[in-house]
Chains A and B, each alone.
Chain A
Amino acid sequence: MLAEALFFSAVLFTIGVVGVLTRRNAIIVFMCVELMLNAVNLSFVAFSQVYGVAGQVFVFFVMTVAAAEAAVGLAIIIALFRHRQTVNLQNINLLKG
C-alpha cells in the first residue's frame, strides 16, 4: 500500500498548500499548515513499512513540533487580535510596507 499512501499524502499536502494560498482567515491558514504536517506524517508512516521504524520516531518529533508551533502561533494570533480586532490577513500587512 506504499504507492497509495504516498498518493493520499501528496493530495492532502497540495490541499493544504492551496488552502494557505487562498484563505484569509489567519486561524484557517494555520490549520492548513497542520494539514500539511499531517500529510508529511502519512508519508513517514508509509515509508516506515519499507525502511524500518525510524519513520515512526520522526512522526513523533513532528507531532511535538506541531504542538509547540500551535501553542506559539495561536498566542501570536491572540496578540494580533488584541491589537487589530481582526484575524483577516488582508488587514495585517504592516510588514509589507
Chain B
Amino acid sequence: MQPTLPLFYTFNFYVFGIVAIIAAVLFVTRRSPVAAAMWLVTTMFALAALYIMMDAQFIGAIQVLVYAGAIMVVFLFVIMLLNLGQPSDVADARGRGWKLVAAAIGVAMLAQIFALTRAHVQPSIPPGYLARQIEYTGVIAPVAGPLFNEYLLAFEVTSVLLLAAVVGAVVLGRRRTAVEDAADAR
C-alpha cells in the first residue's frame, strides 16, 4: 500500500464504498423487484468505481459491461417477462422468526469476516507495484499475461462451462411440444 494517499483519493474511496452499502441495504428492503434491481445496479456501479481506484481498471470496465449491463438486463427482462413489476403484497418478506434468525446469522458472519480482515497481511509485492506495471504496459497486459499463461486451462474450461449453461438454459426455458406431451401420456 502506498505510504501517503491523497486525501481526495481516500475521500472518494469512502464515498463509493458507503454508496455501495446504502444501495445494497435499499436493494434488500425494496418490495418491488424492479426497484430492487435498480438499487443493485447502483451498488455495482459503485463497486466498479472502487475497482478502478484499486488499480483494476479493466475489471471495473468489465463490471459495468457484464454485471451492470448484461446480467442485470437479463434479470429485468425476466421480471418483465413474468409480469412481476408490481410490488407484491403476498408476504414477500418472511416472518419475525426468520428475520431474527437472519439478523443473528448476519451479525455472526459480519463479526467472523471482520475478524478475518484484521489478520496480519504480509504483502508479496512491493507497494505501488501494480500501478507502476500499469504505467509501463497499459491496463490490460498485466491481467492478460497470467490469464493466457498460468490460467490457460481454467480459461478453456470456462468455455465448456458457458456452452453447458447455454444448452441448459435453452432446454429449461423452451416449451414442451405436443408430440412430447403425447409421448409422455402414452
Contact = CB atoms under 8 A, between A and B. Distances in A.
A14 B106 contact: yes
Interface in B36-72: 36-37, 40, 43-44, 47, 50-51, 53-56, 58-59, 62-63, 66-67, 70-71
A34 to B, nearest CB: 7
Interface in A13-69: 13-19, 21-25, 27-28, 30-32, 34-35, 38, 41-42, 45-46, 48-54, 56-57, 59-61, 63-69
Contacts of A61: 151, 154, 158
B113 A72 contact: no
A66 B145 CA distance: 23
Contacts of B151: 54, 57, 61
A88 B33 CA distance: 12
B87 to A, nearest CB: 10
A6 B117 contact: yes
Contacts of A2: 1, 121
Given A7-B114, A14-B106, A49-B130, A75 B172 contact: yes
A42 to B, nearest CB: 6
B132 to A, nearest CB: 12
A77 B118 CA distance: 39
Interface of A: 1-19, 21-25, 27-28, 30-32, 34-35, 38, 41-42, 45-46, 48-54, 56-57, 59-61, 63-72, 74-79, 81-82, 86-88, 90
14 contacts: A5-B54, A7-B117, A11-B21, A12-B24, A12-B43, A15-B21, A21-B94, A25-B84, A25-B92, A48-B54, A56-B59, A60-B143, A70-B71, A74-B75
Given A5-B54, A52-B130, 5 more contacts: A12-B43, A21-B106, A25-B88, A49-B130, A61-B151
Interface of B: 1, 5, 10, 13-14, 17, 20-21, 24-25, 27-28, 33, 36-37, 40, 43-44, 47, 50-51, 53-56, 58-59, 62-63, 66-67, 70-71, 74-75, 78-79, 81-82, 84, 88, 90-94, 98-99, 101-103, 105-106, 109-110, 113-114, 117-118, 121, 123-125, 130, 133, 142-143, 145-147, 150-151, 154, 158, 161-162, 164-166, 168-170, 172-173, 175
Top 10 closest pairs, chain A to chain B, by CB: A68-B165, A21-B102, A19-B28, A6-B117, A75-B172, A10-B113, A50-B123, A75-B169, A8-B17, A75-B173
